[in-house]
Structure 1
């Protein structure tokens, strides 16, 4: 029996849709290259952070798409079961100036925590005026991880300046905000029980660092930060301590200094604990200030342990999030 023309067209459209979905599958993480999402579009999650809920990883970051309204600021949310293939979920923040910071206001480095007590997702943001003089954090909340977040307030944590921010959740579930204070250094501060404010300072690392990232690995804390060079990359450095409160070791390079961290700046370290191994991923941005929508990502497994940390030369790689094992791939 011959198919009716309308039925044939419907089947053809289904076939094309399936082919598009297959073509959008990503087989390896390729540092510095365009990272297509399920729609085939470059992931817009710059300055971002990762949170795992159930079997899915969620990646939040600055959405700097070229067609965004320049008077607004956007945060996008993506999900993935494997840290490689990302599905666009929502622009969870799409806002004009929420607190009268003025023209060119700043909304950067979104980091989301899940507060189990209140069953609420809490987002911290670097919020600022165009001249970076306000130096505050913003807080937004949502009952759904990929819903529309409601802006609550902005403030200076513990009364201190705050520009670049990072997040850290320790193995015991304690939640911390990392923030850069140009006047004093690199703050590590614990959040309040509801995560809506900063309760107390755990440590002030007296070093001029931003892009703060922390991980707890085999009994040691590792902290990474970058120098204050604006959009320009620089040699990121790391230090270690047996306690978040310190004392912290001397800072050392994480990569050959002449590479300027392979043109990237740290934003987070993601620890993948599997059945066979634990991998710590260096998550960084390769900023393109004149084409921010085309800024790239440098994700690489770190060589880490016994107080040492090193970022290998970037090349394509794969990870099995179930076993925690990773390997290089020859895929181009």
Structure 2
């Protein structure tokens, strides 16, 4: 077991891929995450993997949140969503809940959180709160428009107030669906993108952002926690054509997106700087041929795969109490890769840096 100083740490730069400690000297535990900026502070929230250990049934450790004023040093604000104690709850720690996304709904004045549950072929668990830091209350389980769901991203358009969710339909295509006015459901309108791709080519883990008036979306391939090559696409209409621009990682020698999977993009306030933020789920695979070998295995495993059929029934909580964490899910040692986006030939690219500072960008 790796030990840490457990004393206050003062960072003055970002070192992608290295263990990142909070202000108390503990490893930051917020994976499948989002970073937002509100009222002068950054907030980083994601999956707490502290106790998601091999041989346990603790798939879900809650949603932990950190705050920062400088983007380097992060204070642990605790869990804003706790695992439930009732085994029949969709939030019980045995449920595999991932990738929390929180949107503020101006029409209701409430914060809405969506999580992906890997039960019933995959569905959303939707919560609501009066305050960003909670407490959050369960609203519904949802298969949007009858689709099973995989990794996803969400966005509230500041001009129209409309909400959108992009999610993988396992393992076949990417869906963009419009949200209901209160952001706790979908309104029935959706579009299909990157259709007919099976693993490892299926596009998942969408990370959407707007730059210079254009919409961009980073996606990864589908190889479980093993890293793989990313793609970036551009579009003008949420339900229109998405044009693929290629692999955004410059010099991606090992075809593994710098051993990471992008989960979020943020524009740094007051700067012309966008940061692509990613999980390094399996640090031991960095600069190895493990990702390429896994890629090949997925080609064989999913050769004849077809998408899960639509199911409009309300998803029920599966009994996962005796489902244990296997070695491939033991990712509590996962680290993070934060890198600045550089525009080359009109394409938002990502270039490796061993260390970098916000102060170096205007």
Partner of 2:262: 266
Partner of 2:125: 138
What is the CA-CA distance between 1:317 and the residue it aligns to? 1.4
1:97-153: per-residue Cα shift (whole Å, max 9, x none)?
Answer: 554699942100011111223221111100122xxx431011112222223322222
Partner of 1:312: 351
Conservation of the 8 A alpha-carbon contact between 1:167 and 1:176: yes
1:272-301: per-residue Cα shift (whole Å, max 9, x none)?
Answer: 241xx3211111100034642210011101
C-alpha distance in 2, partners of 1:83/1:100? 33
CA gap of 1:237–1:101, structure 2 versus 1, over 3 A, is: same
Partner of 2:42: 57
What is the CA-CA distance between 1:309 and the residue it aligns to? 2.0
Conservation of the 8 A alpha-carbon contact between 1:187 and 1:204: yes
Partner of 2:212: 218
Question: Is the partner of 1:158 in helix, strand or coil?
Answer: helix
For structure 2, the 5+ residue unaligned runs are 1-5, 196-201, 283-327
CA gap of 1:157–1:283, structure 2 versus 1, over 3 A, is: same
Conservation of the 8 A alpha-carbon contact between 1:303 and 1:310: yes
C-alpha distance in 1, partners of 2:356/2:140? 40
Q: Does 1:112 align with 2:102?
A: yes
What is the CA-CA distance between 1:253 and the residue it aligns to? 0.7
Instruction: Mark the structure with the bigger radius of gyration.
Output: 1
Partner of 1:37: 22
C-alpha distance in 1, partners of 2:346/2:189? 24
Partner of 2:331: 292
Partner of 1:191: 179
Q: Does 1:26 align with 2:21?
A: no
- Normalized per residue, the structure richer in strand is 1
Question: Is the partner of 1:73 in helix, strand or coil?
Answer: coil
Cα RMSD (Å): 2.6
Conservation of the 8 A alpha-carbon contact between 1:26 and 1:36: no
Q: Does 1:302 align with 2:297?
A: no
CA gap of 1:269–1:165, structure 2 versus 1, over 3 A, is: same
C-alpha distance in 2, partners of 1:137/1:315? 37
The higher-RCO structure (CA 8 Å, 6+ apart) is 2
Q: Does 1:159 align with 2:146?
A: yes
Partner of 2:230: 236
TM-score, structure 1 normalization: 0.81
C-alpha distance in 1, partners of 2:227/2:181? 36
Conservation of the 8 A alpha-carbon contact between 1:161 and 1:183: no
C-alpha distance in 1, partners of 2:203/2:117? 18
CA gap of 1:77–1:100, structure 2 versus 1, over 3 A, is: closer
1:147-185: per-residue Cα shift (whole Å, max 9, x none)?
Answer: 332222211112111111112233425432121112541
What is the CA-CA distance between 1:206 and the residue it aligns to? 2.1
1:74 equivalent among 62, 85, 93: 62
CA gap of 1:101–1:81, structure 2 versus 1, over 3 A, is: closer
Question: Is the partner of 2:243 in helix, strand or coil?
Answer: coil
Conservation of the 8 A alpha-carbon contact between 2:83 and 2:92: no
Conservation of the 8 A alpha-carbon contact between 2:167 and 2:176: yes
Conservation of the 8 A alpha-carbon contact between 1:281 and 1:299: yes
TM-score, structure 2 normalization: 0.75
C-alpha distance in 2, partners of 1:160/1:290? 25
